[in-house]
Structure 1
Amino acid sequence: MEIPMPAPICLVENSPAGELRVQQEALRVLAEISQPVVVVAIAGLYRTGKSYLMNRLASKRTGFSLGSTIQSHTKGIWMWCLPHPRWAGHTLVLLDTEGLGDVGKGDGKNDTWIFALAVLLSSTLVYNSMGTINQQAMDQLHYVTELTERIKVKPAGGGGREDMKEGEDSTEFVRFFPAFVWAVRDFTLQLQLDGREITEDEYLENALKLNPGSSEQDQRYKLPRKCIRQFFPARKCFIFVQPASRRDLAQLEKLREAKLQPEFQEQVARFCHHVWETSKPKTLLGGHVVTGAMLGNLAVTYVDAIRSGAVPCMESAVLALAQIENSAAVGEAVAAYEEQLGRPALPTESVQELLELHAQCEQEALRAFMARAFKDEEQQYQRQLKDKLDSKLAELCRWNEQASSDRCTAALRKLSQELEKRVCKGSYSVPGGYQRLLDDQREMVEKYQLVPGKGIMAAEVLQQFLKSKETVAQAVLQTDQSLTDRQREIEVERARAEAAEREAQLSQEMQARTKQLLQDQERSHQEHVQQLMAKMEQDRRQLLAEQERALALKLQEQAQLFREGCHMEVEQLKKEIQRMEEKREKEEREKKRQKNEGSSCSLL
């Protein structure tokens, strides 16, 4: 999928008054991206070189504006969509956020919203800082400690923050939040601890260690570290030396490779490789993969909530997105049905042939619907799809009947031309004329039966045609002077019997047709239920995998806290893990109940 985007554009505008607004141009670009998106956002203090790293992730020297003064250059959130350099069929979406902590802005709350949006929209969040990871760096990352005030997992009254026990929020956030990469710029220290060489990741983990104290000062020390550990259990660290001499830094994007420090180039290469190789597609709760169009709708939902003065709710945003996506899934499924149907060769020789064609198209439509739909827990949208497909079948049947009727009528009109001429000339108004008329009609019917491709209306159209000729036949019978009155009565009875026999045969055909349609309704229902059950099972496995991942990360954190001697935090985490296991078991029971009910559910 070629994305015509030579340069970044603004996704979320941040006005001088601090008002956030999603830009329509960016939404139009995202709406065209039907591929899964890997969303990498970068955040950090202003004038720390964030834009340079994002340009390198785009494999470009220029793109995101770097600026060369002490003022914050990027405003709002800027977006660049590019083909993913490693994964075919995926789009890499880079989000460069406004620098945090700009003293000229004077509104820290606005910074927190920018940071929160970066967290909510990304699948990998890069935090960019200068110097070292020390207490000052932790204090500057206070935005993490405010996330629980800026983001809700569940709506009020639905198991949200006000309905949850202390500590449960981080469990929920882990399932939504991105992977975390801390990029430390202009690093000048030796990576050593207690006289031994350590890795960048070990450097980060050591900086995030908690002390076992419980004083107020200890709690202030712990808070940002606890938040990072709880909200971002998947963490990575990269350090970067100063890229060039101080006088060249202002023109960094214009510097030739030879002017850059070799060590810096190697560090940037490792950073880009890691992000490209490990950053996963953006997903929603339950593992549903986000496309570009969905990302745009998410951005609108979150920004609208912020503009209204509300706290963005992740679950509400997912439900709102589900309504948009499920409506689109219905339309996409109907389009898939019509594409598969194409221009069918009508009329078909039998109803069964038509129903088999419909079944193939319906199966394709259902696959398209299930691939895009999510959280259609009451099957509201699947019922909508079934109603539309039922209407499509009824329309297809009408087309088929009309095509058959037209072909049969045309055949009878052509075959009866000679007979009509003889009637008009009075050729049958002679002694023995009635028998001659019957013979000519039978010959015409025999020729009609041999006409190919008449379709399912052949008998019905013939019956209607012969009925329309009964008056002529009766007139010829009455004027045939060669017949006695008794013979005329016998002929009338015989004509009635033949007509009744044709009616009975036609009735049997129509009953058989109705039976086939009813059988197809049952087949259709079973097809919908079968694909629904498969979708529910897939969702169950994804949810279980998501919960197991979150639980594994919490167990890992518990082991680390135990090694650090933070026994109070270990006990808190034990309770949280217990609640997670209880919730997982409860949800597993509920999914099994839904599965059992689903096996006998009705979409009719």
Structure 2
Amino acid sequence: MAGFSMAEPMCLIENGKDGKLCVQPKAFKILEQIRQRVVVVAVVGHYRTGKSYLMNQLAGKRNGFALGATIQSKTKGIWMWCVPHPVKKDHTLVLLDTEGLGDVEKGDQKNDTWIFSLAVLLSSMLVYNSMGTINNEALQQLHYVTELTERIKVKSQQDEDEDESTEFLRVFPSFVWSVRDFTLMLELDGKPVTADEYLQNALMLKPGYSKAAQMYNLPRSCLRNYFPTRKCFVFDRPATTEKMRILDTLADADLDPSFVKQVREFCCHVFSTAESKTLKGGVHVTGTLLGNLVKIYVDAICSNQIPCLENAVLSLAQIQNAKAVAQAIDHYKAQMVERVAYPTESQEELSQIHRVVEKEALKILIDCSFKDDDQKYQQMLLQSLNDMYVEILVKNIEESKKVCESIIKHVFQPLEDQLSSGRYVSCGGYKAFCADIQRFINQYRSTSGKGVQAEEALKKYLDGKKAFQDSILTADQSLTEAEHQIQAEQAKTQALEQQHRAEKEMNDIYEKLQKDQEQSYKELIQQLMEKMEEDRLNAAKEYDRVLAAKLKEQEDLLSQNFSERAELLQQNIHALKREKKEMESNKPSVLGNILESVGTAAMFLPGGISTVVGVASLLCSRLLK
């Protein structure tokens, strides 16, 4: 399925004149429709630095996000553009263009920090756009990154001595520094360097603990500690000053060839390396999740609270899991209506349809839910499926009864006519009655489309003719007393046989219910184990990504002779390795807990041994109404 596509950008988070942030309902509804994973690329930077141009290029368009050609900032708040991802199949690329930082007309640094923080929280790749060069002044302008710990909480209960950088690394985006109108030679000490080496050199720390060294190191340390990967692109000036004013109307041929090449390299890097947005634990974010995440963070900010990653994930899980249950229920309900033709020819036919649709519903829940650690939402779904299945069973039985009664009325009408005429009240009438009724029984049984109550309906009809049968037998003077007794015994035997047929019919329903239970349990376990393995791999990938960032930072610190800092970092590395090992070793116990919870939850499924009794009594109570 192709990614969701918007014809043009729209405002996602409005930044009012009073500085209050507000999620726009129309944009939120669009995100709600996107069930695919999203790759979220956000651009931040000071106003009038060409951020919107880069976003338009990523969208594959010349225009869309407003560029502007004056000294006024065009973008207000955060604007969104959702387009199919050009490389990742079944992914949607969500581009976020943010309001320019340092807007002189706004003059609200606190508001700027919130915009920057939201861009960090929502994106999987953050592009910081600046002009000229990466020097100390440029880094000091990036003071917003130093305030992230004041604007974002990792946990609701945070230990003062706990290192937050590890938790930030788990969920923070990769970082790309885009340097526009770069006119210098990429050289250090007379030797050519890459843009990445240029950035790495700019982020080198100063030794010592003086106030000046600390102020110098703070933004650099934050960038190094909070963002798992860092990349740099430098761009030549795209065109002359006159052409710059109409940049969104120019074709590539009208721009500097070097600039065009650099933009293409930038886009290729974003498309190939920007990962899908994830939450802690490696949970992949869909458009639906992203929309709710936006609301949770903006609501917290508007309530003068600091957005908390832990609380956001818990709130998001509750919202998403409830939606997943509702979606699974809607799917089951709609598919059963579409696939079941009442009455089904057999209980097995209905059971097969139920098992297939139930499997699909369980998959929807398991694929769309997360952090359902106590299987609360699974039990909620299973209980709902049970209730709906009982309703379907009752309807199937009732529809079968109606069809059978109609067929009986048609097939046995000649018998009714003969009874009304008194034909059987004569010598030899009993044998004629028995022959006729057996012929009509055979005709009835050979008629298709009766459903699951064929024998029960026949039993009910034959029971209603018992008095007629007895009176005909009594009136038949052609039979001796011994023959009367033989015929009476045969009638009792036939009635008992018909009762057994009807009982077997209901027993078949209950046996199929039990098989449904066993199949449901196996299916749920299978899907849960697959989900658990996927979650484990995602968590392991997250650990590996954080470990790689820490090891790279340690290597850089050692190369710069910061051995003390490298030693402190080694403690974090040991802790991460220990956590990963514990996660791997806990797999059997986690699986055991899940199996135990599922065993409890499975009691709600239709067909369990204890449930069969309950379903049977419920069916009886429903059918007797």
With structure 2 as the length reference, what TM-score do the two structures score?
A: 0.90
Residue 381 (str. 1) matches residue 369 (str. 2): no
Equivalent runs, 1:521-600 vs 2, <5 Å: 521-600=517-596
Q: Give the structure 2 partner of residue 260 of structure 1.
A: 255
Residue 62 (str. 1) matches residue 58 (str. 2): no
Moved more, 88-97 or 506-515: 506-515
Q: Give the structure 2 partner of residue 150 of structure 1.
A: 151
Distance 2:183 2:442 in 1: 100
Shift of residue 393, structure 1, vs aligned partner: 2.7
Distance 2:78 2:287 in 1: 16
**Residues 284-311 of structure 1, C-alpha deviation per residue, up to 9 Å, x if partnerless?**
2233322222221111111001000111
Residue 416 (str. 1) matches residue 412 (str. 2): yes
8 Å contact kept, 2:5–2:84:
no
Shift of residue 143, structure 1, vs aligned partner: 0.5
Q: Which residue identity lines up with residue 202 of structure 2 in the other structure?
A: A
The secondary structure found in structure 2 opposite 1:146 is helix
Q: Give the structure 2 partner of residue 53 of structure 1.
A: 54
Distance 1:248 1:345 in 2: 68
Q: Give the structure 1 partner of residue 88 of structure 2.
A: 87
Residue 225 (str. 1) matches residue 220 (str. 2): yes
Q: Give the structure 2 partner of residue 165 of structure 1.
A: 161
Distance 2:501 2:175 in 1: 75
Q: Give the structure 2 partner of residue 159 of structure 1.
A: none
Equivalent runs, 1:42-191 vs 2, <5 Å: 42-156=43-157, 162-163=158-159, 165-166=161-162, 168-191=163-186
Residue 371 (str. 1) matches residue 372 (str. 2): no
Distance 1:461 1:378, change over 3 A: same
Residue 333 (str. 1) matches residue 334 (str. 2): no
Q: Give the structure 2 partner of residue 308 of structure 1.
A: 303
Distance 2:86 2:51 in 1: 20
Moved more, 391-400 or 11-20: 391-400
Q: Give the structure 2 partner of residue 281 of structure 1.
A: 276
8 Å contact kept, 1:33–1:293:
yes
Moved more, 29-38 or 254-263: 254-263
Residue 294 (str. 1) matches residue 295 (str. 2): no
Shift of residue 514, structure 1, vs aligned partner: 1.9
Selected match of 1:460 from 441, 456, 460: 456
8 Å contact kept, 1:37–1:91:
yes
**Residues 142-166 of structure 1, C-alpha deviation per residue, up to 9 Å, x if partnerless?**
110110111112223xxxxx22634
The secondary structure found in structure 1 opposite 2:66 is coil
Distance 1:145 1:336, change over 3 A: same
Equivalent runs, 1:483-494 vs 2, <5 Å: 483=479, 488=484, 491-494=487-490
Q: Give the structure 2 partner of residue 450 of structure 1.
A: 446
Shift of residue 246, structure 1, vs aligned partner: 3.3
**Residues 102-129 of structure 1, C-alpha deviation per residue, up to 9 Å, x if partnerless?**
2332321111000000011111110011
- How many correspondences in the alignment? 598
Distance 1:450 1:64, change over 3 A: closer
8 Å contact kept, 1:211–1:566:
no
Shift of residue 471, structure 1, vs aligned partner: 1.6
Q: Which residue identity lines up with residue 53 of structure 1 in the other structure?
A: L
Shift of residue 176, structure 1, vs aligned partner: 0.5
8 Å contact kept, 1:54–1:96:
yes
Q: Which residue identity lines up with residue 400 of structure 2 in the other structure?
A: S
Return 5+ residue gaps in structure 1 as ranges.
157-161
Moved more, 145-154 or 346-355: 346-355
Distance 1:124 1:538 in 2: 23
Shift of residue 375, structure 1, vs aligned partner: 1.6
Shift of residue 50, structure 1, vs aligned partner: 1.2
8 Å contact kept, 1:533–1:598:
no
Moved more, 304-313 or 91-100: 91-100
Q: Give the structure 2 partner of residue 471 of structure 1.
A: 467
Return 5+ residue gaps in structure 2 as ranges.
604-625
**Residues 193-230 of structure 1, C-alpha deviation per residue, up to 9 Å, x if partnerless?**
11210000000001011123222221111111110011
**Residues 325-363 of structure 1, C-alpha deviation per residue, up to 9 Å, x if partnerless?**
222222333344456543334444432333223222222
Q: Give the structure 1 partner of residue 34 of structure 2.
A: 33
Residue 23 (str. 1) matches residue 18 (str. 2): no
The secondary structure found in structure 2 opposite 1:92 is strand
8 Å contact kept, 1:338–1:361:
no
The secondary structure found in structure 2 opposite 1:42 is strand
The secondary structure found in structure 2 opposite 1:181 is strand
**Residues 448-506 of structure 1, C-alpha deviation per residue, up to 9 Å, x if partnerless?**
23223433322211111100111222232333344566655554444334323332343
Residue 249 (str. 1) matches residue 244 (str. 2): yes
Selected match of 2:205 from 210, 230, 235: 210
**Residues 2-30 of structure 1, C-alpha deviation per residue, up to 9 Å, x if partnerless?**
75633221111111111000111211222
Distance 1:39 1:324 in 2: 21
Distance 1:183 1:333 in 2: 44
Q: Give the structure 2 partner of residue 351 of structure 1.
A: 347
Q: Which residue identity lines up with residue 141 of structure 1 in the other structure?
A: L
Work out the percentage of aligned pairs sharing the same amino acid.
Answer: 49
The secondary structure found in structure 1 opposite 2:284 is coil
Q: Which residue identity lines up with residue 223 of structure 2 in the other structure?
A: I
Shift of residue 556, structure 1, vs aligned partner: 1.4
Distance 1:164 1:528 in 2: 42
Distance 2:298 2:548 in 1: 33
8 Å contact kept, 1:533–1:599:
no
Distance 1:541 1:188 in 2: 45
Distance 1:24 1:600, change over 3 A: closer
Q: Which residue identity lines up with residue 306 of structure 2 in the other structure?
A: V
